[in-house]
Amino acid sequence: MIELHTPQYRRVSFGLAFGAFIVFCNLYLFQPILPHMAELYHLSGTKVNWLFAASTLALSVTLVPWAICSESFGRRKIMMIGLFTLPLIGIGLLIHPVWWTLVAARALSGVAIAAFASVAVAYMVEEFSPKAFQAAIGSYIAANSLGGICGRIAGGNLTGLFNWETAVIVVSVLSICGAIYVYFRLPPQQNFTPRRGQLFQHQRSVLMHLRNRKLWLAMLFGGANFALFVNLYTVMGFRLVAEPYSVPIGLASLIFICYLGGTLSSRLTSCWLKRYHTVSGMVAGTCLSLAGMWLAVIESLPMMIIALICISSGAFFTHTLAYAWVSQHAKQAKATATALYLVHYYLGGSLGGFFLMACWQYGGWYAVVAGGSCVYLFLFALCWQLREFSTFHPQQHTNSI
């Protein structure tokens, strides 16, 4: 096992984090420029949302198949397939950029991203010691956050300065360089042996995880949490470029710097678990995120920035806790379990976009707050259900991670 603070830990954990950075740069590249693409292709907000939802939907439905493939062919091989395919798809976006080909290419990018995202955490669980994993999962989620920030800011500013094609080219070049770097950082697995011809067993594992309330409730929580988090940012982008603010697209994309609140909060989960339990942290993070959404009712740009920081800090804190909960409580087929969590996570993100965009078009931010509050009530109800599994002393739970 790879121990904490060793040279191998630093090499492998940074390689996985950088891979996460690359895939999330690609995933969120188009989110800040949805208002621009709506104007360019003369589309409504809900229709242009397909440019983002296609990738997250494709990601969600291919996570489990990739996880099953990793059980047969190995985690590292699957991750590398995803990383090296991403830049090829990015360049393919530019060949015939009509609307339906853009949506199709974005869906393919979601499939490639799923290859990495579905098994990275399982790789960490199997290769790192418990203490090393506890530190590495926070770094991995923080890299997700940083990748999302950089992808969005690059997309918005490069589109504002040049065009969306330039943004795609720059991220594609970064992706191929990053894939080569990660290839030389990640060693073959030492604590996992691929086994082929076990498709039926993997199908049984999927059903087993979905029947496990301890896991499934956390998966539902992750999906509802992400449905709110990522799409509140999308709606805020439309809000800022519209009257009375009329913020340029490049400047509006800078709101994603507020993701740094999530980058920090995801690293603080290990400190929380030393004294408190996972579910109480999920409640605390949800309260913070809810407060941010309501705070954004105030028509003030500085207050909106503070609100977005609260939303991202709370959402990433709860996501990290829920993700680690699933990883640790799955007794077998861990890659399948974490993939199922991400299926719920990204499916929630896709469906939440259409829901909150419809709220925005119907009644502005007040309608978004009303619709979002209903989803937050659902999150609290899930935490209430999860409380029955919160019987461990916090320190004992930390040691089990």
- Supply 111's token pair: 């499939």
Of 43, 85, 36, 32, residue with least CA distance to 62: 85
Q: Rounded to whole angstroms, how far apart are CA atoms 51 and 99?
A: 9
The domain in which residue 47 lies consists of: 7-400
In tens, the pLDDT along 22-55 reads: 999 999 999 999 999 999 999 888 889 999 999 9
In tens, the pLDDT along 287-301 reads: 999 999 999 999 999
Residue 2 lies in a domain: no
Peptide bond into 65 cis (omega under 30): no
- 208 has pLDDT over 90: no
Residue 39 lies in a domain: yes
Residue 244 lies in a domain: yes
Provide mean pLDDT across the span 250-271. Answer: 87
Tell me, rounded to whole angstroms, the distance of Cα 394 from its chain centroid: 26
Residue 280 lies in a domain: yes
Residue 106 lies in a domain: yes
In tens, the pLDDT along 298-341 reads: 999 999 999 999 999 999 899 989 988 887 888 777 767 877 89
C-alpha pair distances (Å), 293 with each of 315, 365, 388: 11, 9, 29
Residue 91 lies in a domain: yes
In tens, the pLDDT along 166-201 reads: 999 999 999 999 999 999 999 888 887 777 656 666
Of 309, 298, 306, 287, residue with least CA distance to 377: 287
Residue 2 sits at φ, ψ, to 5 deg, of -85, 125
Query: Domain of 356: which CATH number?
Result: 1.20.1250.20
Q: Are the C-beta atoms of residues 268 and 317 closer than 8 Å to each other?
A: yes
Provide mean pLDDT across the span 252-277. Answer: 86
Residue 273 lies in a domain: yes
Residue 1 lies in a domain: no
Provide mean pLDDT across the span 83-87. Answer: 95
- Give how many domains the chain has, as a whole number: 1
